[in-house]
Structure 1
């Protein structure tokens, strides 16, 4: 079995070297397309699994969505409170009008 294990290890090393060689010879654009294709494949497989889960457990999914909404609402309220607590107050000084300006006002004070 020792020779068989050595042969398998050597085969794995050769496969790794071949893969490294292909990656180094491949242009950057092609590598980007390969990575994108792999990501799309993973996304597609994940969406199939998620779709099956939703079909089998709609109540559980609804509860999870409602819980996520409540967490989002609580985080939003907390953020608004933090803004109010940490806000800055500015002082506005009162301005007195001259007596002439007071007489020119109409009956509504404008």
Structure 2
């Protein structure tokens, strides 16, 4: 094992332990903010790449947009068609039975005698 490989391996271990420690010590709210910031950064970088691609290849971008639109149209049409169709199934009728009468507990009332 070369010295360079051992250094890079040690650096990866150190970075992993720092990340684990950071996750343990930082409150959940702060981690959510960090994740949101990372997501926004990725979105910003992705939009830059997409903009450059569209500027260099407008025909490909238009064809992709048209294809996505046709796909969306086909999916929506299929969903509408499936909603309008009757649902095939098998049903069995269950006859209603009259329940036996319930026995009611009669409460005994205590007689009150009044002294005059």
- TM-score band by shorter chain is 0.5 to 0.7
The 1:24–1:74 alpha-carbon spacing in structure 2 relative to 1, beyond 3 Å, is same
Q: TM-score, normalised by structure 1?
A: 0.65
Q: Following TM superposition, by how much is the alpha carbon of 1:38 offset from its aligned partner in structure 2, in angstroms?
A: 0.4
CA–CA separation in structure 1 for the residues paired with 2:57 and 2:3: 52
Q: Which structure's residues are more often helix, by fraction? A: 1
Q: 2:36 corresponds to which residue?
A: 36
Larger mean Cα displacement after TM superposition, 55-64 or 44-53: 55-64
* Over 6 Å off, 4+ runs: none
**Structure 2 residue aligned with 1:66:** 66
Q: Tell me the matched-pair count.
A: 88
* Higher mean C-alpha displacement, 19-28 vs 70-79: 70-79
Question: What TM-score, normalized to structure 2?
Answer: 0.62
* Rg larger in structure: 2
**Bigger relative contact order, structure 1 or 2 (CA pairs below 8 A, ≥6 apart):** 1
**Unaligned stretches of 5+ residues in structure 1:** 88-110
